[in-house]
Amino acid sequence: MPTAAITAPLRVVQITDLHLKTQPGSRLWGMDVDAGLNAVLERIQEKHSDADFILATGDLVGDEPEAYERLRRLLGSLGLPVYCLPGNHDFPAAMSRAFHASQVRCERHVVVGGWQFVLLDSSFPGTPKGHLAYGELAFLDTLLATGADLHTMVCLHHNPIPSQTSWLDTMMVSNHAALFAVLDRYPCVRAVVWGHIHAEFSAQRNGVHLLAAPATCVQFKPHAPGPQVDERPPGYRWFELDPDGTLHTGIERVTL
């Protein structure tokens, strides 16, 4: 379980939906995924080089497990710890092997200062839909019970609430009610964050922040009945997390 020195505030950057391929210059929905990722990494180095760590919330590669080695080198250029979880286009076993013993790593639980970060796997083999297995929910429940004195951010890939984009919401966490049944028992939960929707999103539920980040590659148009490319550029979400549990966050977008 990684630990780090207490900072005030704690600074965290979330990147998501990189969809990296083995071949540089590969495209997704017409966009060069390397160009988007490189621009995002450059902006992080310019504006958030003092981050304590990076959260990478899934779809790190685009169905090509061989791309993890290249991704490890790219993310390693930040010189920061990068904690990863899988999405529906990832391969958890290959991901774990590729990221073994490096600054880029698969983690389930990170404690930094007075905050804990629980990284859940909402991917389900053979389908793009989200689901949290019983073991994931039990793991979360245990950490929330034993870490009740820690402000908590829960991280996953799929959206656990409707994003108001109907075609994407068919893939949201199928047992989201079970997730919130766990979360509702613990006042230490401050935020739930995810990717998958390739768009920024912000809401609150029972005082808990519910947040999604834009992709580092192509963006999807919110509220569209079917898949439509949004002209907004790639980006990421930043967090400043105070020792008292206060959360500040915003979106940073890049120019290609």
Q: What is the C-alpha end-to-end distance of the chain, expressed in Å?
A: 37
pLDDT in tens, 168-204: 999 999 999 999 999 999 999 999 999 999 999 999 9
pLDDT at 82: 98
Domains of the chain: 10-253 (3.60.21.10)
Q: What six digits make up the tokens of 168?
A: 């994407």
Residue 5 has pLDDT above 50, yes or no: no
Q: How crowded is the C-beta side of 249, counted as CA atoms within 13 Å?
A: 24
Question: Which H or E run includes 178?
Answer: helix 176-183
The C-alpha atoms of residue 109 and residue 193 are separated, in whole angstroms, by 14
Pairing of the two strands 104-106 and 82-85: parallel
Closest CA relative to residue 62, chosen from 95, 31, 19, 98: 19
The answer to whether the predicted template modeling score (pTM) of the entire model surpasses 0.85 is yes
Pairing of the two strands 208-212 and 189-194: parallel
pLDDT in tens, 41-95: 999 999 999 999 999 999 999 999 999 999 999 999 999 999 999 999 999 999 9
- In whole angstroms, how far apart are CA 109 and each of 10, 40, 112, 153, 217? 16, 25, 10, 10, 27
The C-alpha atoms of residue 171 and residue 220 are separated, in whole angstroms, by 14
Residue 256 has pLDDT above 90, yes or no: no
Closest CA relative to residue 211, chosen from 219, 220, 202: 202
Q: Which residues pair with 204 in a beta bridge?
A: 209
Across the range 207-212, mean pLDDT stands at: 98
pLDDT at 126: 87
Whether 122 contacts 90, CB under 8 Å: no
